[in-house]
């Protein structure tokens, strides 16, 4: 029943998502902008009131090696989800890397606290079910800002559910499971926010409209992740050079 659920979701949502606007059609890909802006405002307030102070405290009390250990541990726990999506995408080489990283880091890396595999030249990568659906040709659908969870798209928001069922934790039962799950989520959010403090501050200072800036950053980084960092030159936009002036000589302005 559990295993069949993601497949059923895909079956039901595939045609709906496919008919939605594509990721490249960015400006028209936000029909829910008023609602999204409301949730964006809510998330920003939560970020300023809770996440930023918590992240700063975390940075202050936990030294960098400890924070790296937490990050490595959390990333190692996510390996089964990454592996499942590697396999679903037919990325066998990357699946091999995920297996090797998980095996090395869980054993030599003391339960994932140390990223020994990286030192051995096996670089980490991320995958999720949203990316798997994108590889299968399912379009992103409209842009969404999820309360508490942040920027997403219709496709990627639904992708979170199968990802939940792709982790072994969903099928295991043990005392304190709820506490462990909650602690993991809190640690994950705090760690991610602590690592992005400087970048988000810079973005907020420079953005003309923070909402638009975050939306574009989401689309661009998401597209890059789906392509596994590989450049798709044919998808780059055109530059109009028909009105360009001749090049300046010796660095003088045209």
Partner 1 sequence: MTIKRKILAAILALALPLASPVLASEQAVTFVQNNVSKVLQVLSDPALGDVQKGKLFSEVITQVTDVDVIARFVLGQYAATASTPEFERFARVFRGYALGVYQSELSRFGNEVLEVQSVQERKPGDSVVLTRISGGALSKKSRDVKWRVITIKGTPRVVDIEISGVWLSQHQRAEITGIITKNGGQISAATKMLCSQSKTCTVTG
Residues that bind partner 1 (CB under 8 A): 26-27, 206-209, 212-213, 215-217, 220-221, 223-225, 229, 231, 233-234, 236-237, 239-241, 243-248, 251-254
Smallest separation (angstroms) from partner 1 to the CB of 225: 7
State how far the alpha carbon of 185 is from the alpha carbons of 15, 149, 218, in Å: 32, 11, 21
Q: Closest approach of Cβ 24 to partner 1, in Å?
A: 11
Min CB(208)–partner 1 separation in Å: 5
Q: Min. distance of Cβ 80 from partner 1 in angstroms?
A: 25
Nearer to partner 1, 61 or 241 (CB): 241
> From CA 24, how far away is CA 140, in angstroms rounded?
9
Nearest to 195 by CA among 36, 75, 45, 79: 75
Nearer CB in complex with partner 1: 5/220 = 220
Residue 175: Cβ-neighbour burial (10 angstroms; 0-12, 13-18, 19+): exposed
Separation in Å, CA 140 to CA 16, 194, 232: 10, 28, 17
Of 9 and 33, CB closest to partner 1? 33
First and final C-alpha spacing in the chain: 68
Q: Which is nearer to partner 1, 180 or 235 (CB)?
A: 235
Least distance CB 214 / partner 1 (angstroms): 10
Can you list the positions of beta strands (E) in the chain?
Answer: 143-146, 150-153
Report d(CA 185, CA 177) in Å as an integer.
12
**Looking at beta carbons only, is 18 or 213 nearer to partner 1?**
213
């Amino acid at each position: 029943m559990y295993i069949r659920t993601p497949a059923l979701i895909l079956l039901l949502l595939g045609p709906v998502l496919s008919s939605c606007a594509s990721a490249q059609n960015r400006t028209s890909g936000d029909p829910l902008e008023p609602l999204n802006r409301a949730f964006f405002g809510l998330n920003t307030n939560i970020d300023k009131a809770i996440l930023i102070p918590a992240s700063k405290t975390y940075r202050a009390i936990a030294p960098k090696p400890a924070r790296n250990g937490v990050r490595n541990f959390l990333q190692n726990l996510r390996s089964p989800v990454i592996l499942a999506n590697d396999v679903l995408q037919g990325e066998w080489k990357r699946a091999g890397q995920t297996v090797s990283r998980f095996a090395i880091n869980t054993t030599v890396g003391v339960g994932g606290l140390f990223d020994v595999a990286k030192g051995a030249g096996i670089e980490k990568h991320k995958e999720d079910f949203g990316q798997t659906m994108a590889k299968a040709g399912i379009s992103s659908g409209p842009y969404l800002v999820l309360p508490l969870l942040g920027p997403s798209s219709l496709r990627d928001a639904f992708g979170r559910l199968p990802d939940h069922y792709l982790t072994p934790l969903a099928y295991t039962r043990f005392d304190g499971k709820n506490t462990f799950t909650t602690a993991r989520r809190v640690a994950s959010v705090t760690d991610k926010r602590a690592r992005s403090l400087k970048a988000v501050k810079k973005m907020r200072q420079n953005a003309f409209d923070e909402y638009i800036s975050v939306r574009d950053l989401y689309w661009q980084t998401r597209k890059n992740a789906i392509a596994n960092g590989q450049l798709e030159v044919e998808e780059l936009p055109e530059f109009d050079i028909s009105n360009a002036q001749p090049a300046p000589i010796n660095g003088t302005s045209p």
